[in-house]
Amino acid sequence: MVDRLQNFIDGNWRPSRADQALDVVNPATSEVLVQVPLSSAPDVNQAVEAAVRAFVEWRQTPAGERIQPLFALKALLEKHLDDLALTITDECGKTLSESKGELRRAIENVETACGMPTMMQGVNAEDIARGIDEFMIRQPLGVVAAITPFNFPGMIPFWFLPYAVATGNCFLLKPSERVPITSAKIFDLIRAAGFPPGVIQLVHGGKEAVNAILDHPRIRAISFVGSTPTAKYVYSRAAGNGKRAQCQGGAKNPVVVMPDADMEMATRILADSAFGCAGQRCLAASVAITVSDARPALTDQIMAAAHSRKVGYGGNPEVEMGPVISAQSKARVEGLIAKGESQGARVLVDGRNRKVAGLEEGYFVFPTVLDEVRPDAEIARTEIFGPVLSLMHAGTIDEAIALVNDRSYGNMACIFTSSGAHARRFRYEVNSGNVGINVGVAAPIANFPFSGWGESFFGDLHAQAHHAVEFYTQTKVVVERWPKTWSRKF
Ligand code: NAD
């Protein structure tokens, strides 16, 4: 009998009122770790009621006081980093160093939000007319919610949580039902950090919990990260209910390799981007476009990198790549490779039907390289979310940029080159919100917004930094006159 996780509401752990639950599985072994309840409207309502009550005091708490529990949370996250990293590895599959890396980004966001007393300052103008001053202040929205995906259980909630509460909102998290244990552990730390009850809540579940959040009249804003079809659904239902929404979707990230690139560096970084986190990163390189003479060297070296990558349980320090998240995901990725082959691609390195000794029940797909992928092939256009790199070839940088821009997603595009002119042209012309120059995972640090474009993002204000401050606050403009006769009395 495995344990069933609880929700965190009004400062306490509480069992979900839902009967239904799902097994949470270690993808490297298929062992059931715990059960997650599939909460629905009654649990969401209870959490929102507690948040509405807490908001009355929290919004009046000075920003300088609101950030004190965030300082405590940063220290607790640092202290428990190793345990949290192992939890991420066990429920999500990535390697320990990848898990630690995402936690470092989480901590960075907590640190950045600790600047809120300055970040949320308004602006003013004296004497906009004689004796009249005008100023704009930022006020919190009320209760806000975030719905997050499976692939970064330790980091993505922190793209939102610290900013939401530091600006004076009360916050509800609905993490992915596939990786809920990391959130459960983080909420033990949130409890210890000293936030007043009701300021931060955790409700586990899937689609029903999401719908209850989207329809709740007291939730003012929705932050979402996940696949594009769900992002579109969440964005339109949230907007239909009059809420603010920022919804980050899927990706299909191209990387251009010029003949003047440092080929050894380009291949090493490209392999990490394509195969790191088993390709389950929204900033994973999915298509490499070689230009002219870059083709033979890049092809040989990326094949070698794919062959040599050590695959296995991420908690083993020698392992460089873990499993994909589920049996369904493995079947889908392997099916897409087969589809690619049937549509004319050559399979240079085949990661299908491979087993890791001792972990025969794990959901492993080994690194895969496909060549001569046609731009109109399904594998060139669909997000694979597995360790699969497609190669395409262009004669010139013009052709390469045209291939980069021939897609609906716009999460990331990268170029490897030693030419500043090529690099500048690339960053100027590509339709992508995050751009890498000799970088394979162009993930903005916490002080910059995470800028997806196209089908990778629905909304206008992105996660992190000053965009998060704007998203979680509403502006109020005051036009003020104090007749001189009044002041003369004193
Ligand atoms: P997903 O869309 O399946 O799930 C995301 C969240 O939505 C989960 O909390 C889930 O419970 C909920 N959900 C799923 N289906 C739903 C439905 N039909 N109705 C209501 N809610 C639903 O995504 P995932 O598989 O967990 O995550 C992987 C995806 O996330 C990939 O497409 C990846 O590119 C994307 N992603 C994007 C970014 C980014 O910054 N753009 C970052 C990380 C992941």
Instruction: Show me where the domains of the chain are located.
Output: 7-249+456-478, 253-437
Cα of 20 from ligand 1 centre, angstroms:
21
In angstroms, rounded to a whole number, what is the distance separating the alpha carbons of residues 315 and 108? 24
- Neighbour-count burial of 317, counting CB atoms closer than 10 A to its CB (0-12 exposed, 13-18 middle, 19+ buried): exposed
Give Cα separations from 222 to 58, 175, 178, 245, 283 (angstroms): 19, 13, 20, 5, 22
pLDDT tens sequence across 443-454:
999 999 999 999
Sign of the dihedral defined by the CA atoms of residues 218, 224, 227, 231, in that order: positive
From the list 467, 465, 428, the residue with the least C-alpha distance to 445 is 465
Q: What angle do CA 210, 211, 214 make, to 5 degrees?
A: 90
pLDDT of residue 489: 55
Structure confidence at residue 302 as a pLDDT band (50, 70, 90): very high
Cβ(207) – ligand 1 distance below 6 Å: yes
**Atom from ligand 1 closest to the CA of residue 325:** 25
Q: Is the CB of 176 under 6 A from ligand 1?
A: yes
Phi then psi dihedrals of residue 128, to 5 deg: -70, -25
Residue 486: its pLDDT value, please?
Answer: 59
Ligand 1 and 225: CB distance under 6 A: yes
Position in ligand 1 atom list of the atom nearest CA 251 = 34
Check pocket membership of 458 for ligand 1, CB cut-off 6 A.
no
230 lines ligand 1 (CB under 6 A): yes
Q: Is 227 in the pocket of ligand 1 (CB under 6 A)?
A: yes
CA of 258 to the centre of ligand 1 (A): 33
Distance CA 48, CA 61 (A): 19
pTM for this prediction = 0.97
> Among the atoms of ligand 1, which is closest to the Cα of residue 228?
32
Nearest to 171 by CA among 109, 102, 221, 229: 221
- Can you spell out the DSSP letters for 193-240? HTPPTTSEEE---SHHHHHHHHH-TTEEEEEEES-HHHHHHHHHHHHH
pLDDT number for residue 349: 98
Tokens of 1: 């009998």
> Which ligand 1 atom sits closest to the C-alpha of 178?
26
State pLDDT tens for residues 191-205: 999 999 999 999 999
Superfamily designation of domain 253-437: Aldehyde Dehydrogenase; Chain A, domain 2 (3.40.309.10)
Catalytic residue among 92, 114, 282, 414: 282
pLDDT band, residue 488 (cuts 50/70/90)? low
Question: Which protein residue's CA is at the shortest distance from atom 23 of ligand 1?
Answer: 226
**From ligand 1's centre to the CA of 151, what distance in Å?**
9
Is residue 1 very low, low, confident or very high in pLDDT (cuts 50, 70, 90)? confident
The predicted structure's pLDDT at residue 484: 75
What is the predicted pLDDT for the residue at 189?
98
CA of 262 to the centre of ligand 1 (A): 35
- pLDDT at residue 487 is higher than 60: no
Mutation test residue for ligand 1: of 44, 151, 183, 453, the one with most atoms within 8 Å of CB: 151
Binding site membership of 456 for ligand 1 (Cβ less than 6 Å)? yes
- Distance from Cα 247 to the centre of ligand 1, integer Å: 10
| Residue 319 CB less than 6 A away from ligand 1 | no
Q: For ligand 1, atom 17, name the residue with the nearest CA.
A: 207
- The answer to whether the CB of 328 is under 6 A from ligand 1 is no
* Residue-by-residue DSSP string for 122-164: -EEEEEEETTEEEEEEEEE-SEEEEE--SS-TTTGGGGTHHHH
| Beta bridge mates, 285 | 253
Q: Which residues of 446-455 are buried (b: 16+ CB within 10 A; e: fewer)?
A: beebbbbbbb
Residue 92 known to be catalytic: no
Distance from the alpha carbon of residue 176 to the mean position of ligand 1, in angstroms: 8
Instruction: Answer yes or no: is pLDDT of 485 > 80.
Output: no
Rounded Cα–Cα distance for residues 238 and 213 (Å): 9
Q: Is the CB of 282 under 6 A from ligand 1?
A: yes
Asked if residue 35 has its Cβ within 6 Å of ligand 1, the reply is: no
Are 455 and 408 in contact by the 8 Å Cβ rule? The answer is yes
CA–CA distance, 356 with 70 (Å, rounded to integer): 41
Mean of the per-residue pLDDT values for the chain? 97
Report the distance separating Cα 170 and Cα 336, nearest Å: 42
Residue with CA closest to ligand 1 atom 22? 207
Q: How many whole angstroms from 150 Cα to the centroid of ligand 1?
A: 7
Any atom of ligand 1 within 6 Å of the Cβ of 246 = no
- The arithmetic mean of pLDDT across residues 352-365, rounded, is 97
pLDDT tens per residue across span 393-443: 999 999 999 999 999 999 999 999 999 999 999 999 999 999 999 999 999
**Average pLDDT over every residue of 168-191:** 98
Domain 7-249+456-478 part of CATH 3.40.605.10 = yes
**pLDDT reading at 354 higher than 70:** yes
Distance 384 CA to ligand 1 centre (A): 14
Closest CA to 26 of 307, 324, 296: 324
CA-proximal residue: ligand 1, atom 43 (nearest): 282
Write the DSSP symbol of residue 76: H
Q: Which amino acid is at 397?
A: I
Distance 298 CA to ligand 1 centre (A): 32
Best residue among 92, 176, 441, 456 to mutate for probing ligand 1's pocket (most ligand atoms within 8 Å of CB) is 176
Average pLDDT over residues 231-237: 98
